[in-house]
Amino acid sequence: MAAVVTPICTWLVAACLSAACDADEHKQKHCCAGGSGAGGGAMFGQGRERRRLGAWRRGAARSGMAMAVALQAERSVIEKKKPDIKQRRVVVTGMGVVTPLGHDPDVFYNNLLDGVSGISEIERFDCSNFPTRIAGEIKSFSTDGWVAPKLAKRMDKFMLYLITAGKKALENGGLTEELRNELDKTRCGVLIGSAMGGMKVFNDAIEALRVSYKKMNPFCVPFATTNMGSAILAMDLGWMGPNYSISTACATSNFCILNAANHIRRGEADVMLCGGSDAPLIPIGLGGFVACRALSQRNSDPTKASRPWDMDRDGFVMGEGAGVLVLEELEHAKERGAKIYAEFLGGSFTCDAYHMTEPHPEGRGITLCIEKALDDAGVTREEINYVNAHATSTQSGDLKEYEAIVRCFGQNPQLRVNSTKSMTGHLIGAAGGIEAVASIQAIRTGWVHPNLNLENPEDIVDVGVLVGPQKERCELFLDELAFAPQELQAAAAAVLAVSVPAGSAETRTSIRRRPSTRSPIAIACFAPAASSEIRLALERTQAREHGGGVSSAVVSTH
């Protein structure tokens, strides 16, 4: 066998490829367990490993599974040029939420604009022995019409929130069952993550095990895993495209949105449901955050507990819920006549490489991530005029994030910054999802929601930058769209950056900057344990499909 130095260019593993090499002698030499092929021998050798792979392949063929491995010699890799692939444009065509402030995007955002707090005393379980007894708890929620009753009884709440928000997003996007049946389901996927997963299902299983394993929920293991929500939803829809979940603490939703967008940009999917869901409000969830002294103890006045950038803040407030977007390839959306809310422009991932939960003292990770995201999207810092911050109401996190935001975007005198968590609490893995929806709604309505409880701002905070206690009109949104108010729903673009203190991940993808006149806005979510930023920009193009008026709505999230 000819010797091959570093021969591997690509290694593809698929669960549903036919094991055709058994029937085709020519194909055997390229198979991981084939006779004397250079690829198979170089990768797996001639000994035990190769025989083991051969046995696996034969068993897989009998069971309907198979593995395909593509190999390429080093010289070919060096000489072969990367094909020039034009990136596809990605738009947001649907939104779905389950939150302490409502389960409809409009209801949710109207409550934010009115300064309604969703934080109250916890009623789900007895927490009288805890120093923190408040949360952004969802008081009224029904799965009727969204989840089969038999499944609903066994599922963890994070899955119920996820499936409900996902189906609401489809409904909001006009993707009825009849229309979904016309889609190529092999090009439709689900990427909705969770930071905490099925905590209650797993905790209930532990309690049942104290009596007997026979008392355990037979679905306790799959229903506790973070990917099962996406899987169940895809099974219900029959969608066979990309399907998995990402769990990166507070940045979970943004990681999922960015990766979902990239699947579409690269041509791997046409439609993606993406976002995040979490339901951590159980004794062990509350106790865990209490143990690390992260939560506010302002139990006597729950609505005043979450107070980002205020000197009197004493920790964040837990929340629960889900936020899901429908991302779609632009031409695909136009062909079906979809309402377009926004367009994805670009994004980036970075790592602080500093501390498990604390942001870098100089905000290096956040700054780097923003710079890369803006570069990817082809926009400048000066174009940013609105940031929806992560701002959880923690002592160090709020200030480091604020400093990084001002350092990056302070050149714009119109810059406005607010925090949705002052009213919803911290939805952990779902935070980025609902805040993406809030930012899109800001663009659509021309109003940015207030910062609740900012009564005694930190000295370094410029109150001229932070939104006040009342909603504020942002004329920059409306100036761009004043001549076509009926198209308000179609005028956003976005850039997203995700910076993670522990555990690095980075994605860089370029996007062609299209000629346009922009009055941009931004939304950012920077998490201490996993910070993330989304940036939205108003964009106007001469869109013929709208009679030469305002461009179709476009969103991008990362």
CA angle 545, 548, 551 (to 5 degrees): 70
Q: What one-character-per-residue DSSP string does 6-69 give?
A: S--S-----SS---GGGT-HHHHTTSTT-SS-HHHHHHH-SSHHHHHHHHHHHHHHHHT-----
Q: What's the pLDDT at 479?
A: 38
| pLDDT per residue of the chain (558 residues) written in tens, 0 to 9 | 444 433 333 333 333 333 344 444 444 444 444 443 333 433 334 455 445 545 444 544 444 444 444 445 555 555 555 555 568 999 999 999 999 999 999 999 999 999 999 999 999 999 999 999 999 999 999 999 999 998 899 899 999 999 999 999 999 999 999 999 999 999 999 999 999 999 999 999 999 999 999 999 999 999 999 999 999 999 999 999 999 999 999 999 999 999 999 999 999 999 999 999 999 999 999 999 999 999 999 999 999 999 999 999 999 999 999 999 999 999 999 999 999 998 888 778 888 888 888 888 888 888 888 888 888 788 888 888 888 999 999 998 899 999 999 988 887 888 899 999 999 999 999 999 999 999 889 888 889 999 999 999 999 999 999 999 999 988 655 433 322 222 222 334 556 666 655 433 322 222 223 333 343 344 333 333 333 433 333 332 223 233 322 222 222 333
> 372-398: b or e for each residue (b if 16 or more CB lie within 10 Å)?
bbbebbebebebbbbbbbbbbbbeebb
Catalytic site residue 474? no
Catalytic site residue 426? yes
Domain ranges of the chain: 20-79, 91-555
The DSSP output letter for 368 is H
Say how many C-beta atoms besides its own lie within 10 A of residue 156's C-beta: 29
Tell me which residue of 193, 194, 187, 276 sits closest to 238, measured CA to CA. Answer: 187
pLDDT per residue as tens digits for the range 361-382? 888 888 888 888 888 788 888 8
Q: Dihedrals φ, ψ of 90, to 5°? A: -120, 130
Say how many C-beta atoms besides its own lie within 10 A of residue 460's C-beta: 10
Q: What's the pLDDT at 350?
A: 81
Q: What's the pLDDT at 250?
A: 92
Q: What one-character-per-residue DSSP string does 192-243 give?
A: EE-SS-SHHHHHHHHHHHTT-GGGS-TTTTGGGSTTHHHHHHHHHHT--S-B
Q: What is the CATH number of domain 91-555?
A: 3.40.47.10
Strands (E), 389-468: 416-418, 447-448
Catalytic site residue 360? no
Catalytic residue among 250, 351, 369, 474: 250
Catalytic residue among 103, 426, 449, 558: 426
Catalytic residue among 390, 408, 474, 558: 390
Q: What one-character-per-residue DSSP string does 84-116 give?
A: -PPPPPEEEEEEEEEBTTBSSHHHHHHHHHTT-
Tell me which residue of 267, 317, 347, 540 sits closest to 425, measured CA to CA. Answer: 317
Distance CA 136, CA 117 (A): 8
